[in-house]
Amino acid sequence: MTRGLYVVATPIGNLGDITLRALEVLRQVDRVAAEDTRVTGRMLSGLGISKPMLSIREHNERKGADKIIERIRSGEAVAYVSDAGTPAISDPGSRLVEAVRMAGLGVVSIPGASAATAALSVSGLSQGAWYFAGFLPPRQKARREVIASLKNLGASLVFYEAPHRIRETLADLQCMLGSERRIFIARELTKQFEEAALMRLSETEAWLNGNPYREKGEFVLVVEGATEERSGLAEAETILRTLAGELPASQAARLAAKITGRKKSDLYALLVNEHD
Ligand code: SAM
């Protein structure tokens, strides 16, 4: 096998999603470098493969890269895999690839599963451009700022989220992008309790409350991109909600209608439907 670094995508849940080429490469390389040798060791043994392994974690990626470069220089073929999915996609791997390239050595892509593309492909919201935002910041202020910066982007937005933050992230998406935009929530893709649903941002809280398991597992969120009409509506909703914080609903709707030129009844409906 030609010496170099082989960046190998692995399944995101279902072992059957390993590709034929990934299997061949993992069988043939001299060594497998992994984000977590225990996780990858389990996957390899599930596939009936036994290989010398090397741990390369996020905080030692530079150092680990030097070791791998040495091995490649000595003629080895080394595979790199992250815990699940495609390396370097919200996962370590990018610094290693950069270092190997800078050393003038070969890097080969062995593509396969990634939660982002898997979710996008079944969302029904992938017309044209899409923007991969990865994980949002854990603190609300920073998270809201990032969402605000994406508000007018005419591309579907793809986020990763952890179970303990899913509720607050969905609430912030609604607060910053308005209630009307559609969102596709993909939970536990390719796994036993896989679940997915397309809804408006206003419906996410009810969806989460629909079943205690819905706040568990791994999530990808795909949010419809901005259109001029939607941006205008979201703007009107921000004004409406600011006024509704100080005034009765009907008065807030009347003033917001005057400011934005929208129908009072539409704006009023946005406020009262929440309490239905
Ligand atoms: N490199 C991976 C990829 O290519 O998708 C992503 C790794 S990132 C550390 C892990 C996050 O990806 C999870 O928190 C979740 O947001 C998303 N994810 C991974 N597997 C998933 C799955 N089976 N279903 C839904 N989301 C998943």
pLDDT in tens, 175-215: 999 999 999 999 999 999 999 999 999 999 999 999 999 99
Same-domain pairing of 138 and 76: no
Among residues 95, 113, 131, which one ends one of the domains?
Answer: 113
Ligand 1, from 36, 39, 89, 160: best to mutate by most atoms within 8 Å of Cβ? Answer: 160
Q: Is the CB of 225 under 6 A from ligand 1?
A: no
Domain interval for residue 120: 116-226
Listed range (75-79, 149-153, 266-270) with the worst mean pLDDT: 266-270
What is the pLDDT, as a whole number, of residue 274?
Answer: 61
Ligand 1 atom showing the smallest separation from residue 188 Cα: 24
Q: What length does the chain have?
A: 276
The answer on 144 and 106 residing in a single domain is no
Read off the DSSP letter of residue 224: P
What is the pLDDT, as a whole number, of residue 62? 87
Q: Are residues 154 and 84 in the same domain?
A: no
Q: Which stretch, 4-8, 126-130, 242-246, 247-251, has highest mean pLDDT?
A: 4-8
Give the model's pLDDT for residue 58. 79
CATH code, 25: 3.40.1010.10
Q: Which residue is closest in CA terms to ligand 1's atom 23?
A: 189
Looking from the CA of 35 toward its CB, the CA atoms found within 13 Å total 22
Cα of 160 from ligand 1 centre, angstroms: 7
How large a percentage of the chain has pLDDT more than 90? 87
Q: Is 93 in the pocket of ligand 1 (CB under 6 A)?
A: no
What is the distance between the alpha carbons of residues 103 and 24, in angstroms, rounded to a whole number? 26
Condensed to tens digits (0 to 9), the pLDDT of residues 137-161 reads 999 999 999 999 999 999 999 999 9
Please say which residue of 113, 140, 158 terminates a domain: 113
Q: d(Cα 53, Cα 35) in Å, to the nearest integer?
A: 10
Same domain flag for 234 and 208? no
Q: With 80 as the cut, is the pLDDT of residue 20 above it?
A: yes
The residues near 272 (Cβ < 8 Å, ≥ 6 apart) are 249
CA 163/CA 135 separation, integer angstroms: 12
Question: Number of structural domains, the chain?
Answer: 3
Digit-coded pLDDT (tens) for 119-133 = 999 999 998 999 999
Q: Which residues make beta-bridge pairs with 19?
A: none
Q: Which atom of ligand 1 is nearest to the CA of 9?
A: 4
Predicted TM-score (pTM) of the model is 0.86
CA of 27 to the centre of ligand 1 (A): 25
Residue 50 and residue 94 share a domain: yes
- Cα of 116 vs centre of ligand 1, distance in Å, is 7
- Yes or no: say if 77 and 30 are a contact pair by the CB < 8 Å rule: yes
Find the 220 Cα to ligand 1 centroid distance in Å. Answer: 7
CB of 114 within 6 A of ligand 1: the answer is: yes
User: Is the minimum distance from the CB of 218 to ligand 1 under 6 angstroms?
Assistant: yes
pLDDT value at 106 more than 60: yes
Q: Based on the domain organization, do 185 and 250 belong to the same domain?
A: no
Q: Which residues contact 273 (CB under 8 A, 6 or more apart)?
A: 202
